[in-house]
Structure 1
Amino acid sequence: MRATNSLVGALSVAHSPYTLTLSPKRLDTTHSLSRRALQPADVPLMDYFNRTDLQWYGNISVGTPPQNLTVVFDTGSTTLEFASTLCGSACANQHQFNPNKSSTFVDGGSSRRIVFSTGVGIDPVVGDNTALVLRTAKDTVRVADLSASEVPIYLITNQTPVFLQNPFDGIMGLGAQPVGFLGGLIAQGLPAMFGMLFTPHDEGGAQLTLGGVDSSQFSGDPTYVVLSNDMAPQMWVLSSSGIFVGGKAAPTPQQLSVIFDSGTSTLAIDPTLSKAIYALISPEIQPNSAQPGTWGFPCSILPLGNATIDFAFTSTDGRLFNLTIPADALSVGPFPTNNPNGTLCQGFITDLQGFVIVGGSLLKEYYSIWDVSGHRMGFAKRNGTIAVSHKTGAAATSKRTSWGVVSALFVAVLLSL
């Protein structure tokens, strides 16, 4: 998820792909601190499904004695916030942490408000309709068999109504720097990495592995990419050489920075690029004026075989490869409102000025590795899916445009809490 923070009071692909020879691999803990007092732990994840896979979330506990909560494990943020008894009826559908019942709770004494620019679902954020009011604090946090004390936490004291539908209670940030709960575990010797397995709703078995990866969930050796330095260091950002739609190059900036955000459901990208991508799929895909920021098309035109979207990258060993979103991801189903006959389907790409954010639509196609100490990400063939597609030869190129990338300063403001 992507949040704006305001302190209260303050390729055309020219080469044929080949498939890597894949072999089993043991748990990868090579990039860890020298002291290993903690061992990797698996966290089962549940899938919030509403027309499409929206979020994957799991169990944590906070306080002494522990109070059980559920959170989205969000690589697009760095903080831990969850509903509390200070929120009252505004958080009526969530489990609420009671700070008065925790002997290890320490009140931070200040409040702040954050407004998200991407939310839980597939609909764009409108104004400040996706906002939280938070109270700073510290307490002990546990996930699976892992525990860290004096973790900075944020108690939700108020929230906008859009959050009420969520089946989870909060958000745990897992940014690219070792801070918060993850930082506390790494300080105790947990290997500084984690693996994510997102799966479709009808498949199940989604999982987070803290401190390593679960090699039983994928085939072969992962393909790694070094993180880009174009944006704030808290962000999981990779530099892409282009976006291709059905094999045709979309016009992209000279420098395309792609944010990988497990808390974003689909794709949220700059409107100029949204328009270009949809134009390569079908002229019948048009902006939906009834719901600004979304795109619609007659459901009758499905399926569209040319709707495959490839993001092109260069691996750490210099090979070109694509991460692919299959064509059947294009539609998230008919619009639920202002669609009396149910004949207008919604595209999975939504508009977000100045960003290219990749979420669950792509991540559920691969096993993803988030290597904090190695400053890199890894991708492998998730069991039951297609392999990472590698290319040979010169670097792929794409048409360029000039809408540019968001400044590092602006992104740093978005992530600072």
Structure 2
Amino acid sequence: MKAMFRAPFFCTLVLSLLTRAEDIVPQTITLSSRVAPAGKSLKRRALSPENIPLADFFKGTDLQWFGNITVGTPPQDVTVVFDTGSSTLEFASTLCSTCASQIQFDPDQSKTFVNGGHTSTITFGTGVGVDPVIGDNYQLQLLNGTDTVSVGGLSSPNVPLFLITEQTPTFDIDPFSGIQGMSARAQGFFAALIARGLPSLFGLFLTPLAVGNAELTIGGFDQSKFSGDLTFASQAGHGATWELASPSIAVNGKTNSVLKTKRTIIFDSGTSNVLFDTDTANAMYAFISPEIQPNPAEPGTYGIACDLIPTLPAVIDITFTSQQGKPFNLTIPSTELSVGPFANNASLCQTLINAFDGLELVGGSLLKHYYSVWDVGNQRLGFAAV
């Protein structure tokens, strides 16, 4: 299933720190214990953070990171992408005749499953990895319900979820069963755990396949996975979307009036490539190579002869502002420029930046070069070099 920015309204949407260390005054997350007033006891015991190993779906480039959860009583294994670009939990079920390639949850085998009886259809705005969406070729039909969900050693009863009852063939390549949304407004199992005392943040270590050991830390972050200090920036919005304000972009150290436009950029761990409006995409490619041109066979994509890719510098610096008012850069290196040959032309390689008017988004191609902390309670994002 796709862990991607969805079409509006169901939904949830859907680069080393190059700024010198002396220009950044990082703020670190401090977790403090609660002290009970004299003569009283705490009504709940705080839960401890849990580390969940993540596997990398690799198809010429890193596409998705996914891990195991369990659903039901007795528990059934389900694999999901932990997706910061969505809010809900949905996964393949035995009710789905078109989900044969994924692990399927059997609601009849769970004594705690409650069928909500409501069906719905969602269409995604981006596909898995780098494939563009054309019409409704990324679409799911769902049945709502509730059940017990466990992640690592943490468990919550009566969690709202959706069973996939039908999916389009574009989902067939997915090695995972579904999506667990991890939006900026805690919902579902995460909200239930926070209510029981779990700290309201999580850390992501999304590594390239060659590095391995990718990890999600629920309720905290793993300081052994990064060097130096975390730099935090405040959420730009007040909704469920993880997004930061950016005053400028530079490509290969160069910028122009289009790239200096103030914009809000979404951070989506469930999307692999980069989406900018058409003018911005064209301005960025102008600093890389005039040979990079739109590919009309797949609207919104660009390409260049594969044998030219190694000769092209394509360092993308996106500037943000820390909570201390200091600018810092998140950088996508040149190694991310190519996302592999087009299906209709093996000699033409698709390049990283897609044109998508009305949406500006970065995903795994940026995040895998940093350790990231998603602080729901304090509404901020943190980054550190790995």
TM-score by length of 1: 0.84
For 2:165, what is the secondary structure of its paired residue? strand
Residue 271 (structure 1) shift? 2.0
* 1:206 aligned residue: 214
SS at match of 1:186: helix
Q: CA deviation at 1:124?
A: 1.0
1:3 aligned onto 2:11: no
* 8 A Cα contact 2:289 2:312, kept in partner: no
Cα drift, residue 272 of structure 1: 2.1
Of 366, 379, 382, the match for 1:378: 382
Give the SS at the match of 2:287: helix
Match of 1:385 in 2: none
User: Which amino acid in structure 2 is aligned with residue 246 of structure 1?
Assistant: N
Query: Is structure 2 residue 370 aligned with structure 1 residue 366?
Result: yes
1:56-205 equivalences under 5 Å are: 56-88=65-97, 90-205=98-213
Whether the 8 Å CA contact 2:248–2:261 is kept in 1: the answer is no
For 2:240, the equivalent position in structure 1 comes to: 234
> 2:311 & 2:255 partners in 1: Cα distance?
17
Query: In the alignment, what sits opposite 1:30?
Result: 31
Q: What's the counterpart of residue 413 of structure 1?
A: none
Aligned residue type for 2:319: A
Does structure 1 residue 243 correspond to structure 2 residue 249? yes
1:261 to 261, 268, 272: 268
Give the 3 Å change call, closer, same or farther, for CA 369–178 of structure 1 in structure 2. same
State the partner residue of 1:403.
Answer: none
Does the aligned pair in 2 maintain the 1:367–1:379 contact within 8 Å? yes
Structural RMSD (CA): 2.1
CA contact (8 A) 2:249 2:260 kept: no
Which residue pairs with 2:21 in the alignment? 19
Stretches of structure 1 lacking an aligned partner (at least 5 in a row) = 8-15, 383-417
Q: Give yes or no for contact 1:56–1:73 (8 Å, CA) kept in 2.
A: yes
SS state of the match for residue 7, structure 2?
strand
Deviation at 1:29, TM superposition (A): 5.3
Q: In the TM superposition, what is the alpha-carbon distance from 1:152 to its structure 2 partner? A: 0.4
Q: Matched residues in 2 for 1:21 and 1:381: separation?
A: 15
Give the deviation of 1:145 after TM superposition. Answer: 0.2
Identify the residue that residue 391 of structure 1 maps to in structure 2. none
CA contact (8 A) 1:224 1:315 kept: yes
- Give the partner amino acid of 1:43: I
**Which amino acid in structure 1 is aligned with residue 348 of structure 2?**
L
What are the superposed Cα offsets for residues 287-321 of structure 1, whole Å, 9 maximum, x if unpaired?
01222221111223232453100110010011110
Runs of 4+ in 1 over 4 A off after TM superposition: 31-36
TM-aligned CA distance change 1:366 to 1:33, over 3 Å = farther
Residues 109 and 246 of structure 1: CA distance in aligned 2, closer, same or farther (over 3 Å): same
Structure 2 counterpart of 1:330, one-letter code:
L
Q: Deviations over 1:378-414 (max 9, x none)?
A: 00011xxxxxxxxxxxxxxxxxxxxxxxxxxxxxxxx
Match of 2:51 among 37, 42, 46: 42
Q: Any conservation in 2 of the 1:53–1:200 contact (CA below 8 Å)?
A: yes
Following superposition, the deviation at residue 254 of structure 1 comes to: 4.1
Q: Which residue of 1 aligns with 2:38?
A: none
Equivalents in 2 of 1:154, 1:5: separation in Å?
A: 18
Aligned-pair distance for 1:199? 0.6
Identity rate, percent: 52
**CA–CA distance in structure 2, aligned partners of residues 321 and 276 of structure 1:** 21
Cα distance in structure 2, aligned partners of 1:275 and 1:143: 42
Q: Per-residue deviation at 1:19?
A: 2.9
Are residues 1:289 and 2:296 paired? Answer: yes
**Counterparts in 2 of 1:276 and 1:268: CA distance versus 1, 3 Å:** same
Identify the residue that residue 223 of structure 1 maps to in structure 2: 231
- 1:316-355 equivalences under 5 Å are 316-335=323-342, 337-339=343-345, 342-355=346-359
Following superposition, the deviation at residue 20 of structure 1 comes to 5.1
State the secondary structure of the residue aligned to 1:345.
Answer: strand
